[in-house]
């Protein structure tokens, strides 16, 4: 029993020396440029009192279309930026 305890202590001591070797160099983290995504646009609301194809709602539809296209272009630009920096 005493011999088993000594062997166990010797193996623990030997194992603890394994961590005392060279330290591994950890490289600095790579900093990538910021690729900002555009903020979600606030879309104008339709006038429920006007017909959907009326002139007021038609101009709202065209404005919403323009805002969503600009938002999609901004998202694609941010995605291209992330892909270029990989």
What is the Cα–Cα distance from 5 to 8, expressed in whole angstroms?
A: 5
Is 29 inside a domain boundary? no
Q: What total of structural domains would you count in the chain?
A: 1
Expressed as residue numbers, the domain containing 63 is: 37-86
pLDDT in tens, 30-63: 777 788 899 999 999 999 999 999 999 999 999 9
26 in a domain, yes or no? no
Whether 13 maps to a domain, the answer reads: no
In a domain, 50, yes or no: yes
**Model pTM greater than 0.85?**
no
User: Is 9 a member of any domain?
Assistant: no
């Amino acid at each position: 029993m005493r011999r088993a305890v000594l062997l166990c202590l010797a193996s623990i001591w030997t194992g603890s020396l394994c961590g005392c070797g060279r330290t591994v160099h950890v490289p600095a983290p790579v900093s990538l440029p910021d690729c900002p995504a555009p903020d979600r646009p606030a879309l104008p609301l339709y006038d429920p009192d006007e017909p959907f194809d009326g002139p007021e709602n038609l101009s709202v539809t065209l404005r919403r279309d323009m805002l969503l296209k600009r938002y999609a272009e901004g998202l694609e630009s941010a995605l291209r930026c992330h892909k270029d920096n990989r």
